[in-house]
Structure 1
Amino acid sequence: MSEREPNLDVDVEIRDARTAVLSVAGELDMDTAGRLADHLAEQLGEGRHHLVLDLSALGFMDSSGLNVLIRSVHRAREAGGDLYLAAPNPAVRRILEITGVTTTLPPHDHLAQALAAAGGGR
């Protein structure tokens, strides 16, 4: 299940009934944030409330992308789950840090760590 958007790829891997991994590649900005928001909302709607975002191939993120993350973590937590960030590159990690997002949504260095935190690393 792969969708193409200019400068953004989102691949979704269903891990189990409650966990999905969304691998995000390219640029997460005003033009592409809606695509990721749609994917996250779809997974939440399907009952997968533990969402892992693999950011290892995400090269850029602006405030539109940050807003998607913040809205999605609140929705996931309201549903009894959570959002887990995995492997952001140094530039994306820096944006998360300077905006304070890491206090609410601490990133994991590796996908395996994020999956273990989500309980989907089995």
Structure 2
Amino acid sequence: MVKTDELSVEVSVIDPQVAVVVVQGELDTQTGTLLHHQLANQLVHGRQHLVLDLRAVPFMDSSGLSVLIRAGNDTKRVEGSLRLAAVSPEVRRLLDLTGISVSMPVHASPEEALFAIAAASLPDGAASGPEAGTNTGG
């Protein structure tokens, strides 16, 4: 776990290509660099699919949005994905207003996001259960 007075980032490696990143605290100019470095570190270590658990992020500004956009682009470059999970209503509103929730999958829980990653790696039609790529409210 990496922690400052304003932000805590805890990474759980699910398998060699997948990590869940739990973020706690406000995501802004002061804290965005810490999260960016943690996400970049996961990509360097081969984890191309990242799930961001944002349930404990009560506030995000344009710097935080920039970190999400950059991380989304970075995961696409390595043929991976960035999925947002358990987003607070305040942050969800910001994602909706800026259109980010249209281009970046938002899931109700980290478990749902992990299922979507697993389903996306199966041959077409082989997945069962919740729809893999849906954007659910949070």
TM-score interval, normalised by the smaller of the two chains = over 0.9
Which SS does the other structure have where 1:60 is aligned?
coil
Give the TM-score normalised by structure 2.
0.84
> Structure 2 CA distance, aligned partners of 1:17 and 1:3?
20
Q: Which of structures 1 and 2 has the bigger CA Rg?
A: 2
**Do 2:43 and 2:75's aligned partners in 1 also have CA atoms closer than 8 Å?**
yes
Aligned amino acid, residue 102 of structure 2: T
AA of the residue aligned to 1:106 = P
Return 5+ residue gaps in structure 1 as ranges.
none
Post-superposition CA distance 1:43-93 (Å, at most 9, x none): 000010000000111111110010000011111011010000001010000
Higher relative contact order, chain-length normalized (CA < 8 Å, sep 6+): 1
1:100 is aligned to 99
Q: CA deviation at 1:7?
A: 1.3
Q: Does 1:71 align with 2:70?
A: yes
Task: Give 4+ residue runs of structure 1 displaced > 6 Å after superposition.
Answer: none
What is the RMSD of the two structures over their aligned residues, measured on CA atoms?
1.1
The one-letter amino acid paired with 1:52 is V
Counterpart Cα distance in 2 of 1:52 and 1:68: 14
Q: Is the 8 A contact 2:55 2:88 kept in 1?
A: yes
**So what's the TM-score if we normalise by structure 1?**
0.94
Question: Once the 2 structures are TM-superposed, how far is the Cα of residue 106 of structure 1 from its aligned partner?
Answer: 2.6
In structure 1, the residue corresponding to 2:26 is in which secondary structure? strand
Contact 2:7 2:25 in 1 (8 A): yes
Which has a greater percent of strand? Answer: 1
